[in-house]
């Protein structure tokens, strides 16, 4: 193989591996809580949940794993610390490969979660992907001297530090709110009744929404049954407060939740709390928060899929999810002054999310681009000075 062709093969392999790691890391950073749920599933399947009972361990591992994969992918694309980067990638993939083989054989966890909700692979497909990555990484390790550096050796630590800080910043934003890109079936704009229909293609069965709950509400001296059918058939607005476990729910923004309930009640909108907790947890929650809204019981997994925040709030209109909030970002009382038809915060437009994504992309690309330009400029100046010095020395 001639040197030019070999260079093309090496750098094509580098592009494939780095893109895979960056994508895998990004989806984990965009939805760190979802990855934490999956890590917890692994610990349960491996019978390690009791040994590692630290409450925030899955979330800590989720952020650490997403940051590591993202930064390693960028480091490989820039050829930063080639030996260290490829060594860490090989170690990580060597750990993943037997783990996913075990998953493929036992099916202990139905979905590996390596690409979050963005891309679902079967366990055998995931194992095959890791085998291919392992082979590509082994080849890159043997040909690492042919990987072209994009920044000087002196600027490598700056680029690496910037990527780590950006990854943690992105994870923090998505933990404080909801994932900025929602790959879940309960995304804004989803028409739930349509998503609940039985598909013609059996391969789409896992994508069917399981939106089912039962509860009751008090109207005077009467008890009114509440089911998913009545909520989805409501042509008006419905606020759904989702809390998989009320025992673990954050009550720091309870004033805003209660204000939102008062607003819904005064305007004739339905307000309902969906939870998987039992009666005792509900009564304790009511005592602690003064909650007056009705409760309904729903599957824990569905609630965790609907909103990552505990609690979170969804707004439905005629069966369509029109808005979604973390409890940290609920509308304030100053915004609860008009009907929902006239409230812009109740009708988020796709342009709003595109604008936010563009800002996040620019916050990454502009500083990184500035670092690269400064590094290349400094390298050019040094090269010009060396050349000038050599010319001066030769002429003398």
pLDDT at 285: 93
Predicted pLDDT at 202: 55
φ/ψ region of 81 (left if φ > 0, alpha if ψ in -120 to 50, else beta) reads left
Over residues 100-110, the mean pLDDT reads 89
Strand residue runs (E) in the chain: 213-219, 222-227, 237-243, 270-275, 295-298, 312-317, 320-326
Predicted local confidence at residue 269, as pLDDT: 93
Whether 355 shows a pLDDT value over 70: the answer reads yes
Mean pLDDT of 364-381: 85
Look at the chain and count its residues: 396
Under the banding of pLDDT at 50, 70 and 90, the label for residue 217 is low
**What is the C-alpha to C-alpha distance for residues 92 and 10, in angstroms, rounded to an integer?**
20
Q: What is the mean pLDDT of residues 153-176?
A: 92
pLDDT at residue 221 greater than cutoff 70: no
**pLDDT, tens digit (0-9, with 9 covering 90-100), for 304-331:** 999 999 999 999 998 899 999 999 999 9
323, 348 Cβ separation under 8 angstroms: yes
Question: What average pLDDT does range 135-144 have in this prediction?
Answer: 93
pLDDT above 70 as % of the chain? 91
| DSSP at 8 | H
Residues 6+ apart with CB under 8 A from 233: 319
In this predicted structure, the answer to whether residue 360 has a pLDDT above a threshold of 80 is yes
For residue 337, give Cα distances in angstroms to 74, 331, 364.
Answer: 47, 11, 37
**Preceding peptide of 94 cis, ω within 30°:** no
Instruction: Share the mean pLDDT of the chain.
Output: 87
What φ, ψ does residue 124 adopt, rounded to 5°? -70, -40
Q: Is the pLDDT assigned to residue 205 strictly greater than 60?
A: no
pTM over 0.75: yes
Average pLDDT of span 219-245: 81
Give me 76's structure tokens.
């490989």
| CA 148 remoteness from chain centre | 32
Query: Which domains are delineated in the chain?
Result: 3-182 (no CATH), 192-348 (3.40.30.10)
Residue 87: φ, ψ to 5°: -65, -45
pLDDT reported for residue 225:
67
Mean pLDDT, range 177-194, rounded to an integer:
88
- Judge whether residue 98 has pLDDT over 90: yes
Helix (H) or strand (E) segment spanning residue 86: helix 82-106
As a whole number of angstroms, the distance between CA 36 and CA 28 comes to 9
Indicate whether 92 pLDDT > 60: yes
Query: Average pLDDT for residues 20-26, to the nearest whole number?
Result: 96
Predicted pLDDT of residue 204: 54
Q: Which of 111, 103, 107, 146 is nearest to 14 (CA)?
A: 146
DSSP 183: -
pLDDT of residue 385: 81
Lowest mean pLDDT among 140-149, 261-270, 382-391: 382-391
Find the range with the poorest average confidence among 11-20, 85-94, 111-120, 292-301: 111-120
Helices 123-142 and 3-30 meet at what angle, rounded to 10?
140
Check residue 207 and give its pLDDT: 59
Cβ proximity of 290 and 162 under 8 Å: no
Mean pLDDT for the stretch of residues 170-188: 90
Look at 6-20, 35-49, 218-232, 355-369 and tell me which has the smallest mean pLDDT: 218-232
What confidence tier does 274 reach under pLDDT thresholds 50, 70, 90?
A: very high
Give CA–CA dist 215/325, Å, rounded.
23
Reported confidence tier of residue 349, pLDDT bands at 50, 70, 90: low
Quick one: pLDDT at residue 396?
A: 63
């Amino acid at each position: 193989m001639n040197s030019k062709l070999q260079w093309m093969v090496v750098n094509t392999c580098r592009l494939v591996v780095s893109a895979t790691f960056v994508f895998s890391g990004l989806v984990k950073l965009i939805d760190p809580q979802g990855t934490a749920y999956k890590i917890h599933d692994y610990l349960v399947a491996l019978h390690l949940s009791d040994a590692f009972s630290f409450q925030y361990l899955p979330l800590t591992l989720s952020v650490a794993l997403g940051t590591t994969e993202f930064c390693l992918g960028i480091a490989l694309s820039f050829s930063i610390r080639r030996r260290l980067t490829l060594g860490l990638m090989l170690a990580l993939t060597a750990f993943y490969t037997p783990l996913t083989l075990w998953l493929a054989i036992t099916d202990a966890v139905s979905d590996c979660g390596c690409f979050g909700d963005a891309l679902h692979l079967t366990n055998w497909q995931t194992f095959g992907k890791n085998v291919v990555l392992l082979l590509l990484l082994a080849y890159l390790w043997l040909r690492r001297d042919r990987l072209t550096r994009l920044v000087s050796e002196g600027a490598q630590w700056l680029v690496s530090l910037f990527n780590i800080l950006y990854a943690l910043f992105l994870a923090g934003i998505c933990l404080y709110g909801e994932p900025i890109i929602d790959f879940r079936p309960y995304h804004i704009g989803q028409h739930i009744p349509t998503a609940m229909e039985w598909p013609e293609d059996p391969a789409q069965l896992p994508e069917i929404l399981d939106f089912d709950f039962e509860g009751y509400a008090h109207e005077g001296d009467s008890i009114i049954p509440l089911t998913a059918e009545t909520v989805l058939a409501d042509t008006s607005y419905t606020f759904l407060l989702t809390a998989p476990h009320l025992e673990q729910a954050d009550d720091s923004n309870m004033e805003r939740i209660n204000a939102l309930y008062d607003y819904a009640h005064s305007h004739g909108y339905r307000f309902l709390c969906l939870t998987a907790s039992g009666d005792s947890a509900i009564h304790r929650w009511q005592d602690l928060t003064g909650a007056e809204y009705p409760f309904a019981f729903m599957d824990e997994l569905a609630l965790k899929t609907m909103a990552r925040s505990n609690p979170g709030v969804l707004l439905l209109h005629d069966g369509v999810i029109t808005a979604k909030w973390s409890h940290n970002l609920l509308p304030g009382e100053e915004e609860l002054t008009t009907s929902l038809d006239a409230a812009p915060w109740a009708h988020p437009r796709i342009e709003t999310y595109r604008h936010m994504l563009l800002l996040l992309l620019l916050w990454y690309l502009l500083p990184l681009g500035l670092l690269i330009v400064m590094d290349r400029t400094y390298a050019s100046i040094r090269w010009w000075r060396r050349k000038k010095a050599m010319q001066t020395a030769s002429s003398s």
